Structure 1
């Protein structure tokens, strides 16, 4: 059984999907209604990052995150959701079809996650005082597990030093690549009125911060203080096929929204999963059985986030 949606409901679901995170805020998806009760999530081949993401793995993560937001928007309307991933084997850009089903009460947890969609923004500044408590770390891990993924916490000093070393190694390799630098400059430091990319706002990370190694402000921000005590988590999957990327994207959005509900800020530590050699080394650090898909830094918010722009639905 399916349920016909009103035009406003369709717009709300599409808008929830469009709030998903994406590398350099490329928003690499095409979200569209599919009949009176359904939606399609497609990758947009015109919004790829050929140097940073040549195999479109991160693009699929972003589209999976968009799908998660759309699912939550339907659940907030107390409707079941029916999802088919990779519905067309002949179309590599067709990632998911989503349909609204019969009525089903929405849990308080789902309603809180749906309400957090419009409040989730990357927290690129240093975190405030305090830590991510063990109970909350466990809840964030369960959020990832709900989408067939795993959140591995980097906790010991030895592990933190090892991952920080991979961040530095990957950042150095990327900075030495003129094509990569040109791609980053094309998508960051955006001025007022931009509908995508990273705005030239907020602080610049200090040079001695091991987790924030990119200046995304185009050199316009004031230097921030170091942030050495962030909680570091690696979102990982059991395999590395496109299906896992879409599942990891849904897990990513659920983890970030759970963090938002609890007042935590989060942002990406992207370099080590973008460079093949450091991603392979990170996989070894995780034990060799999991594929790292994203590295996150989390902690109590300090100051307001700078919302990234969004294209109109």
Structure 2
């Protein structure tokens, strides 16, 4: 690890790695402005990339942008910089989510820099995982990754896992009957060879994974009622490894912290050979989201449900070029 100059290529590379983060429907709801004189990034939301029916309060948007912020911090640490972030710095400018100033890093950057190889390897997998449990030592490492970002990670017992699965099934039924959610699905999925192969955002059909024939794993079927050519069916886990990530409060700043914690957990899991997936179904309905919390934990609000396990390598989702989301001045 060494300090490098912040030329245009370095700035662009930092943003390219930041935008490898996951976001709801892969909407990529972020913009970056880099101010050369102060070596500062502005992380801004993109109001044209909201998911209005499924994410009406933009909670998921903030989580996705928080994940991009964590990646920016990791990418900066890898290059010898510390990314010092101030969340929501200007109440009069709600689209400005964070100011991120780069300063030379000290020894504390090594922990973040170690996560860097996982940025390009992390994938959202919609394939079956095997039935192995996550080892206890790795569970604790992932809990610590969440704690580092002021969040809480809980591995619920099998009874609460079943409760979460029931909430997911409830949400799936509600989604199927909601025209607004169907509109979100149609806008952000890319079905058909040409649409999928040319996609720069959204969820292309080659990332849908197999259709679930059996099993309990909560896997969102992005095809809806649309046929997907040559898509196979598969049996998924009967006892999926689900984890809950949450925060004590439920403010915009907590959503941004949750996004950073989520991505830190995902990167640490990837480095340890785990496949990962995000399951937000039940959290998109306020009444179901409240019930999703584990009453045996001190977690105030569940921000994300994650599925972890050991499975095949998943295809990557498309990304817009960094130059499209970055403005340098």
1:58 matched residue in structure 2: 60
How many residues get paired? 310
Measured in 1, the distance between the counterparts of 2:67 and 2:57 equals: 18
1:223/1:189 CA distance change after superposition, 3 Å: farther
Deviation, 1:161, is 1.4
Structure 1 contact 3–100 (Cα < 8 Å) conserved: no
1:87 matched residue in structure 2: 89
**What do the CA deviations read for 1:113-147 (whole angstroms, capped 9, x no partner)?**
11210111101101135321011011001000000
What is the root-mean-square deviation of aligned Cα atoms in Å? Answer: 2.0
Q: TM-score, structure 1 length as denominator?
A: 0.93
Deviation, 1:16, is 1.2
Structure 2 contact 216–240 (Cα < 8 Å) conserved: no
1:212 matched residue in structure 2: 218
Deviation, 1:173, is 1.1
1:1-313 correspondence to structure 2 within 5 Å: 5-36=6-37, 37-105=39-107, 109-128=111-130, 130-154=132-156, 156-190=157-191, 191-202=196-207, 203-217=209-223, 218-220=226-228, 221-283=231-293, 285=295, 289-301=299-311, 303-313=312-322
Measured in 1, the distance between the counterparts of 2:295 and 2:227 equals: 34
- Tell me the SS of whatever aligns to 1:206: strand
- Tell me the SS of whatever aligns to 2:234: coil
- Tell me the SS of whatever aligns to 1:164: helix
Structure 1 contact 168–213 (Cα < 8 Å) conserved: no
1:284/1:128 CA distance change after superposition, 3 Å: closer
1:146/1:288 CA distance change after superposition, 3 Å: closer
- Tell me the SS of whatever aligns to 2:140: helix
**What do the CA deviations read for 1:81-106 (whole angstroms, capped 9, x no partner)?**
21111011101110001111124246
Structure 1 contact 122–266 (Cα < 8 Å) conserved: yes
Measured in 2, the distance between the counterparts of 1:174 and 1:312 equals: 32
Structure 2 contact 72–83 (Cα < 8 Å) conserved: no
Measured in 2, the distance between the counterparts of 1:103 and 1:247 equals: 21
Measured in 1, the distance between the counterparts of 2:118 and 2:7 equals: 22
For structure 2, list consecutive stretches of 5 or more residues without a partner in the other structure: 323-329
Q: TM-score, structure 2 length as denominator?
A: 0.89
Deviation, 1:269, is 1.3
Deviation, 1:205, is 3.4
